[in-house]
Amino acid sequence: MGTSASHADLATAQQIPADVLVIGGGPAGTWAAIAAAAQGARVVLADKGFCGTSGATAPAGTGLWHVDPDGDARAHAKASRYALGGELAEPAWMDRVLAQTWDNVARLQEWGYPFPTDAAGRLRCNSLQGPEYMRLMRRQAKAAGVRILDHSPALELLRDAQGTVAGAYGLRRAQGDAWAVQAGAVVLATGGCAFLSKALGCDLLTGDGALMAAEAGARLSGMEFSNAYGLGPAFSSVTKSLFYNWASFYDAAGQPIAGAGSARGRGIIA
């Protein structure tokens, strides 16, 4: 196999065969790894930190777009998001996200994720606690037979003689050596590029997957929409905005700011 890698460690790297290599072990990576393993693939998942505690979801929480397929709830949900997003969304993708979220939440229930109940005794499935969620995802990935390499940042994609991506290599920081995985499919799931935000869990999100994809010739789209700014008190690294649904906002003189809110009115706060 030819390779574009020039790193000296590649020559002595531990070679690991796989059908599918997943780079990154947050929600995207673990769901992809579990799905591939369920199809019978040999899956290796490499994470720069520790799959289950690294990334933007693990230390905090995630709101879910969990909307009942019956009735017109989804039509309303889509219309409201479409307007919020400046009418730039694609309805077919919104349908896909809604359907996948509904299915995945059912899987999480089967796997024992502790969804809380509301006052009427119904399960509340519109948010996940990151630590519980990602601990469960790591456990499910291991149960599915996924081989997890922790503290093993991918550095570069490997390519075959035709230039097709055929794996990747990286470092095993605990062992002080390198790994190389030859795989028929590589999934880049390294999260965003929010390391300068100081937000909880984002310090290792340096955009590596986007860079590797671009180096391999991928064309990126929509990157101008990839910056989301959360609310956060100056003394805190917690910028997940669910908490602020219950917040009241005041100006420097202590006067309530009319119309300010987390789900709406963020512009007023800004």
Ligand X SMILES: Cc1cc2nc3c(=O)[nH]c(=O)nc-3n(C[C@H](O)[C@H](O)[C@H](O)COP(=O)(O)OP(=O)(O)OC[C@H]3O[C@@H](n4cnc5c(N)ncnc54)[C@H](O)[C@@H]3O)c2cc1C
Interface residues with ligand X (CB under 6 A) are 23-29, 46-49, 54-57, 62-63, 153-154, 189-191, 194, 199, 202, 204-205, 208, 230, 239-240
Residue 139 to residue 143: CA distance in whole angstroms: 6
Residue 76 to residue 71: CA distance in whole angstroms: 10
Nearer to ligand X, 18 or 28 (CB): 28
Residue number of the CB closest to ligand X reads: 26
- CA end-to-end span of the chain: 53
Q: Is 21 helix (H, G, I), strand (E, B) or coil?
A: strand
Nearer to ligand X, 19 or 129 (CB): 129
At 85, phi and psi to the nearest 5? -90, 20
Closest separation in Å from C-beta 217 to ligand X: 18
Closest separation in Å from C-beta 241 to ligand X: 6
Nearer to ligand X, 214 or 256 (CB): 214
Closest separation in Å from C-beta 45 to ligand X: 9
* Packing angle, helices 91-111 and 73-84, rounded to 10: 120
Closest separation in Å from C-beta 1 to ligand X: 21
CB-based burial of residue 167 (10 Å sphere; 0-12 exposed, 13-18 middle, 19+ buried)? buried
Nearer to ligand X, 41 or 187 (CB): 187
